[in-house]
Amino acid sequence: MPRERFTINPFPALALSGEEKAQLLHLGRTLIQANLERDQPFFHNGRKVDYRRWKLARERENMHVYTERPEYKGADALSDPNSVSKLPAILSIGRVPGNLDDMMYGVVNPTLEEMRIKASYVHDFSGAAVLSTIVEPTADDPFTSVVVKWMEMDIPLRMTNIVQNRDYVYLECTGFVYLPNGDRAGYHFLHSVDFPQISHLSDRVRGDLSICGFFRQIGHNRIDVCKTGLMDPAGDMIRLLAVPVMTEAFMSPLRYVYCGQMRKLTWKMEKSHAEARLHGVPNPGTVCATCSKTPSGWTFGKGRNTCKCCFRVVCGACRIKKKISLVTADLELAQRKITFCTACLSDVSTASAVDIACSQIHESSRKSRYSNQQSTQAASIQLVKGDEPATTLKQQKQAALQQLQEVNQEEAPPKEKKSYISKRSMAFMHC
């Protein structure tokens, strides 16, 4: 994907007032609750689907995506009977393997960097930007976020100039709710919003969407998924092109757990490398960390394979390569195949996503405080230099007062006349 599609924000900064943020929070809470009340039957009646209303559009593994039949359009709050678009509502249900916390760790993406990494694993959009952050994840709620975003979705035949890509400005909410029976369910909610300062782009068509997904742990390593919504690309002429793209987007829950696992693996690798920079790389040993055999071929100039988490040697038969997504210092998204051992992958698989997310939040907060301290220290150093201009408000006023007094002394008339500087000006300079 081109670099500028994620690193260049096509819009000016979106500054929201406290009242606007409160309205968006209320909108999110209201619609999430409405979606939860509507989707609860899918959790309690064995995920039964009314095939008179829903037509199977796509299936993969244990996920099934349905589109609403035209004769049922507007049957309930899921679809809008007054909509000009004839695009159907979409329903996605199924069960995916994994842990709910790992899934939510793969879902939450409040920053642009996290959006890019998630998109590289999930492939749910092709360009994006963060416009305004309303609620950031905290150590107490590491998976709760409310963010205003922009995203772009590629439409087939876009390179022919026959059709244009669709983009969306939307409110995204992530977090947890509790069902009436006490079960915890994660949610991922997206709903189009409109701001006058976020204008339509000339080479894209602005669409509307409203999507809400709920995820519930139903047993060891099993997650129940129910995702419903509408995606209107603003144009019935591209129905045949748009519907397949949208139904594929509703398959994204299949990749959420994998995204969370890869993010955990990246965290463990970065933590190990940070410790190695401080204390040195540990001894890799001479035998494979998995099978304890001595890898062959070292004497013939072949490089050793080492696990990038524990730095121990792994033989060619035991090494496991994973494609890891990283954002480099020059804002490039790099995807690299990196070698790991079985033990480290097993540790990461069972590691708590909540603990890792909290650790990242604490580390980010620590770096932010350190950066602020560095800025304060730099400002203090600037102030003590004798040849530097005054930088504080008080010093600026004192310097200006001294300059005015010097001008007054050079150009002052005989002593019997009044000073050029009035008492009022002097009083202002001393305030």
Question: Do 242 and 285 reside in the same domain of the chain?
Answer: no
The one-letter code for the residue type at 333 is L
**Residues in the chain with pLDDT < 50?**
1-4, 77, 81, 83-84, 299-301, 383, 386-391, 404, 407-408, 410-431
Residue 80 belongs to some domain of the structure:
yes
Rg (the chain; Cα; Å): 29
Structure tokens at 428: 């202002």
Residue 270 belongs to some domain of the structure:
no
Of 351, 383, 412, the position where a domain reaches its end is 351
Question: Do 206 and 252 reside in the same domain of the chain?
Answer: yes
Structural domain span for residue 185: 4-257
Question: Do 316 and 425 reside in the same domain of the chain?
Answer: no
| pLDDT of amino acid 394 | 54
Residue 401 belongs to some domain of the structure:
yes
pLDDT digits (tens, 9 = 90+) for 312-365: 999 989 999 999 999 888 888 899 999 999 999 999 999 999 999 999 999 888
Residue 370 belongs to some domain of the structure:
no
Closest CA to 98 of 211, 187, 181, 218: 218
Question: Do 83 and 206 reside in the same domain of the chain?
Answer: yes
Question: Do 299 and 343 reside in the same domain of the chain?
Answer: yes
Residue 323 belongs to some domain of the structure:
yes
Of 351, 376, 409, the position where a domain reaches its end is 351
| pLDDT of amino acid 396 | 53
192, β-bridge pairs: 170
Of 297, 328, 351, the position where a domain reaches its end is 351
The end-to-end CA distance of the chain, in Å, is: 57
Question: Do 133 and 253 reside in the same domain of the chain?
Answer: yes
Structure tokens at 190: 């997206």
Tell me how far apart the alpha carbons of residues 28 and 50 are, in angstroms, rounded to a whole number. 28
Q: Please answer whether residues 11 and 148 qualify as being in contact, where contact means their C-beta atoms are separated by less than 8 angstroms.
A: no
Residue 318 belongs to some domain of the structure:
yes
Question: Do 183 and 331 reside in the same domain of the chain?
Answer: no
The one-letter code for the residue type at 84 is V
Residue 356 belongs to some domain of the structure:
no
Report the b/e string of 231-253 with b at 16+ CB within 10 A: bbbbbeebeebbbebbbebbbbb
pLDDT digits (tens, 9 = 90+) for 78-105: 555 454 455 679 999 999 999 999 999 9
Question: Do 154 and 293 reside in the same domain of the chain?
Answer: no
Residue 335 belongs to some domain of the structure:
yes
Q: Which CATH number is 140's domain given?
A: 3.30.530.20
Question: Do 398 and 343 reside in the same domain of the chain?
Answer: no
Question: Do 111 and 53 reside in the same domain of the chain?
Answer: yes
| pLDDT of amino acid 204 | 87
Residue 354 CB burial class (10 angstroms; 0-12, 13-18, ≥19): middle
Question: Do 77 and 211 reside in the same domain of the chain?
Answer: yes
Question: Do 21 and 96 reside in the same domain of the chain?
Answer: yes
Phi first, then psi: give them for residue 182, nearest 5 degrees: 95, -5
* Domains contained in the chain, number: 3
Report the b/e string of 336-345 with b at 16+ CB within 10 A: eebbbbeebb
